Amino acid sequence: MSKVAIVTGASKGIGAAIALQLAQEGYQLVINYNGNQQKAEAVKVLCEKYQTAIVVQADVAKSDDAKRLCDTAMDTFGRIDVLVNNAGITKDNLLLRMSESDFDDVLSTNLKGTFLMCKNVSKIMMKQRSGSIINIASVVGITGNAGQANYAASKAGIIGLTKSLAKEFASRNIRVNAVAPGFIQSDMTDKLDQEVITNLSAQIPMKRLGDPQDIANTVAFLVSDKSSYLTGQVICVDGGMVM
């Protein structure tokens, strides 16, 4: 029987790359999106070249939506083996200019959404006595970053959550790890001037931006049996930015 993976925020970028990689690894996919159904359906088409996939709209920051997402996965496939918490937003600004709602929104989606999904999925994985949860953090959750107090706080929170849940769930054969991307090519970086890209790359020991596939490959390793003794870890995929 094929294993089942939920990937949140899987309509584009890193989430889409992770979903496609897991499909290629043999996982049946639950592709979550919040706003862009068209892009999510396009990811489903790619995934279904390898395995069955469904698309589920849900705002993971809302308790009822997070539960419905997990319930739909169970109703469709009967099990959940992998959860990848990738859904996230940014609302960057210097602290003095950052509104309370901008802080709350980022923490709600990035950190509370991860908490809600972990809580719902853990009940299922505990009954199965198996599972793997991957939380997508960020290097700025380790280093901080000016103008991203809300985002950095949310990602630092995800790291703390990951380590805490790894300790709680280990006895039930559920592993919880985090991946912390550095500068990764995305819709956002595609809009930047070449000079900005060059300056960003200069800060990276490997002198280049990463690719979403770099994150997807790391996630595929972390959910596989090849990493069966790994839990509570934060893997920086950043070309050497954070050492």
pLDDT-above-90 percentage for the chain? 92
Say if residue 133's pLDDT is above 90. Answer: yes
- Give me the pLDDT at residue 190, please: 76
Token pair belonging to 96: 């003095």
- Give me the pLDDT at residue 195, please: 87
DSSP state of 77: H
pLDDT-above-70 percentage for the chain? 100
Q: Which domains does the chain have, with CATH numbers?
A: 4-236 (3.40.50.720)
Active-site residues, by number, are 151
- Give me the pLDDT at residue 235, please: 98
- Give me the pLDDT at residue 188, please: 66
Buried-exposed string 43-53: b where 16+ CB fall within 10 A, e elsewhere: bbebbeebbbb
In the predicted model, what is the mean pLDDT of residues 12-40?
97
Q: Are 42 and 93 in contact (CB under 8 A)?
A: no
Nearest residue to 116 (alpha-carbon basis) of 62, 173, 172:
62
Say if residue 65's pLDDT is above 90. Answer: yes
- Give me the pLDDT at residue 20, please: 98
